[in-house]
Copies of this chain bind each other. A is one copy, B any other.
Amino acid sequence: MIENYLKVRRATEKLVEPLEVEDFTVQPIGDVSPPKWHLGHTTWFFETFILKEFKENYKFYNLKFQEIFNSYYKSVGPHWVQENRGNLSRPTVAEIFKFRHYIDETIINFLEINNNPKIEQVLTVGLEHEKQHQELLLMDIKYILGANTIEITYSDSPLLTPLPKIDMEFLPFAGGVIDVGAKDNSFSYDNEKPRHKVFVAPFKLANRPVTNGEYLNFIEDQGYLDPAIWLSDGWAHKVEQGWQAPLYWKKIDHEWYEFTLCGMEKLNPHTPVTHISFYEADAFALWAGKRLPTEFEWECSTIKDHKNWEWTSSSYLPYPGYQREKGPFGEYNGKFMCGQKVLKGGPKNHTRPSYRNFYHPEKRWQFSGLRLADNI
Given known A92-B20, A201-B196, contact A67–B149 (CB-CB < 8 A): yes
Check A232–B68 contact: CB distance below 8 A: no
Smallest Cβ-Cβ distance to A29: which chain B residue: B87
A263 proximal to B (CB < 8 A)? no
**What's the number of copies of this chain in the assembled complex?**
4
A199 proximal to B (CB < 8 A)? yes
A338 CA / B281 CA spacing, docked (Å): 13
Name the one of B149, B227, B233, B286 contacting A74, with C-beta atoms under 8 angstroms.
Answer: B227
A72 proximal to B (CB < 8 A)? yes
A152 CA / B338 CA spacing, docked (Å): 37
| Chain A: interface residue total (CB-CB under 8 A) | 71
Name the one of B92, B149, B326, B339 contacting A339, with C-beta atoms under 8 angstroms.
Answer: B339
Check B375–A91 contact: CB distance below 8 A: no
Check B149–A80 contact: CB distance below 8 A: yes
Residues of chain B within 8 A (CB-CB) of A313 are 317-318
A92 CA / B314 CA spacing, docked (Å): 43
A197 proximal to B (CB < 8 A)? yes
Check A86–B26 contact: CB distance below 8 A: yes
A235 CA / B36 CA spacing, docked (Å): 28
- Chain A stretch 285-302: residues in CB contact (< 8 A) with chain B: 286, 294
Residues of chain B within 8 A (CB-CB) of A286 are 324
Stretch at the interface among A7-15, A131-139, A329-337, A344-352: A329-337
Interface pairs (29), CB distance under 8 Å: A20-B89, A22-B24, A22-B93, A25-B25, A25-B26, A25-B89, A27-B87, A67-B149, A72-B232, A87-B148, A88-B149, A90-B148, A91-B150, A177-B199, A196-B201, A197-B199, A197-B201, A228-B326, A228-B330, A228-B331, A230-B335, A232-B336, A233-B336, A234-B338, A278-B338, A282-B338, A286-B324, A313-B317, A315-B317
